[in-house]
Amino acid sequence: MPTAEQALLKDIRELIARPSISSVSPDWDQSNERVIEFLAERFSSRGFRVDVQPLDTPGKSNLVATLGAGEGGLVLSGHTDTVPCDPGLWHSDPFEVQERGQKLYGLGTADMKSFFALVLAATDGLRAEQLKHPLVVLATADEESSMRGARALARAGAPLGRHAVIGEPTSLRPVRLHKGILMERIRVIGRSGHSSNPALGNNALEGMHAVIAALLTWRSDLEGRAQDPDFEVPVTTMNLGRISGGDNPNRICGQCELDVDLRMLPGMQCAPLRTELRELVAEVLRGIGLDSAFDALFEGVDPMTTPAVAPIVKATEALTGAPAGAVAYGTEAPYLTQLGMDVVVLGPGAIDQAHQPDEYLALDGIEPGVEILRALIRQFCLQAD
């Protein structure tokens, strides 16, 4: 019989050994089915009812595993995919866990396949009859590329539980806030012509100059709308990230495009902000006889905001001794919130390890992580409220 610790490390090795890269680039994108199969097998052997939910995209599925039944309950959620990696930059095979200096190296060790192994360890010996409220394990597809898995769950609208933990790497500190993210391509469409006579065309570069001026004014306006001292940068931000246009000094520029990134505070939402941005730009350009076009570079993520008084926030603060804070990256939390859950992000591993060569999970985060999960299961599933 392997010890509990050996079993947990074996599960981490198994998860890392099953590649599940997701990427907007089809050259990199892979199925997550081997991870889902592994989790389905492991959780059904624990007595969970396992529901594998294929997405519209072939080879991609979510998994919902449930122990117990009834109202309320706890959802432990993670994504099954990883970002792409360049094995040439790694000191060991990214898909074979290596232990060196009290750290487990491998793609997805911190972000965030190991979390499922911790959940398996925390549920060892748990029986459905003991549960007053259900325990749900959620494993999603494509978090790193499109959040397609979480979007599908939110669209389906089936309630999963009342309290949720997403095990993204937070060094075991609870997180209840993050900003939303919106990325947009703005295209100015003019008319090219010979440079010697401005009347022969309508210059898209000059139009973009007017657009940028308007965007910077809008940015000041957004900064003034709200402040939140929980964030290191306490305002909504906008970055002008990339510009390209024109081809020759002696031709009037016919097209120019600009990519911008907005990070909005809780209280704002992606969709209305995108509409506002598009209307603002279109109006500026209409005024000078230019056309506009827009592409959402990705659909966007709304901000995460879980009330400080939510029971899951209070519970995770008490268990970790850390106040629930804010992070600078997006998660699937807003989709779970849409399904009626109070969500905290809390997991082992450090976020600065995520998306890096030689990604690792420090071993000293594992046992405390399992203990926190066991305590949450006791509080939200085993006790009647």
* Smaller CB separation from Zn ion, 140 or 203: 140
Q: What angle do CA 372, 373, 374 make, to 5 degrees?
A: 90
**CA 208: distance to chain centroid?**
32
Tokens of 119: 């959940």
Active site residue 81: yes
Closest approach, Cβ 258 to Zn ion, in A, equals 29
Closest approach, Cβ 60 to Zn ion, in A, equals 16
Residue among 81, 257, 342, 359 flagged as catalytic: 81
Q: Which amino acid is at 271?
A: A
Report which DSSP code applies to 138. Answer: E
H runs (alpha helix) in 46-126: 114-122
81 binding Zn ion? (CB under 5 A):
no
Closest approach, Cβ 294 to Zn ion, in A, equals 28
Which candidate, 333, 334, 317, places its Cα nearest to that of 325?
Answer: 317
Task: Annotate 175-202 with b (16+ C-beta within 10 A) or e (fewer).
Answer: bbbbbbbbbbebbbbbbbbeeeeeeebb
Q: Who contacts 66 (Cβ-Cβ below 8 Å, separation ≥6)?
A: 48, 49, 51, 134, 135, 136, 137
* Smaller CB separation from Zn ion, 78 or 134: 78
Closest approach, Cβ 226 to Zn ion, in A, equals 27
Stretch that binds Zn ion, among 110-118, 122-130, 156-164, 233-241 (CB under 5 A): 110-118
Stretch that binds Zn ion, among 103-111, 197-205, 252-260, 334-342 (CB under 5 A): 103-111
Applying CB under 5 A, what is the total number of residues that bind Zn ion? 3
29 binding Zn ion? (CB under 5 A):
no
Closest approach, Cβ 211 to Zn ion, in A, equals 34
**Shortest Cβ contact with Zn ion: which residue?**
111
Tokens of 366: 């594992």
β 304-305/61-67 pair status:
unpaired
CA separation, residue 315 to residues 220, 264, 285, 333, 377 (Å): 38, 27, 52, 18, 11
Closest approach, Cβ 284 to Zn ion, in A, equals 37
Q: What angle do CA 318, 319, 325 make, to 5 degrees?
A: 70
First to last CA, the chain: 37
The phi and psi torsions of 360 (rounded to 5 degrees) equal -140, 165
Stretch that binds Zn ion, among 107-115, 193-201, 212-220, 374-382 (CB under 5 A): 107-115
The answer to whether the CB of 145 falls within 8 A of the CB of 54 is no
CA distance 262 to 274: 9
* Smaller CB separation from Zn ion, 73 or 349: 349
| Site for Zn ion, residues 294 to 333, rule: CB under 5 A | none
* Residue-level length of the chain: 385
Residue among 29, 142, 143, 317 flagged as catalytic: 143
Closest approach, Cβ 337 to Zn ion, in A, equals 17
* Smaller CB separation from Zn ion, 14 or 111: 111
CA distance 161 to 181: 26
* Smaller CB separation from Zn ion, 144 or 184: 144
* Smaller CB separation from Zn ion, 112 or 183: 112
* Smaller CB separation from Zn ion, 111 or 342: 111
111 binding Zn ion? (CB under 5 A):
yes
What is the pattern of x (binds Zn ion, CB under 5 A) and - over residues 155-174? -------------x------
Q: Which amino acid is at 177?
A: L
Active site residues: 81, 143
Would you tell me which residues interact with Zn ion (CB under 5 A)? Answer: 111-112, 168
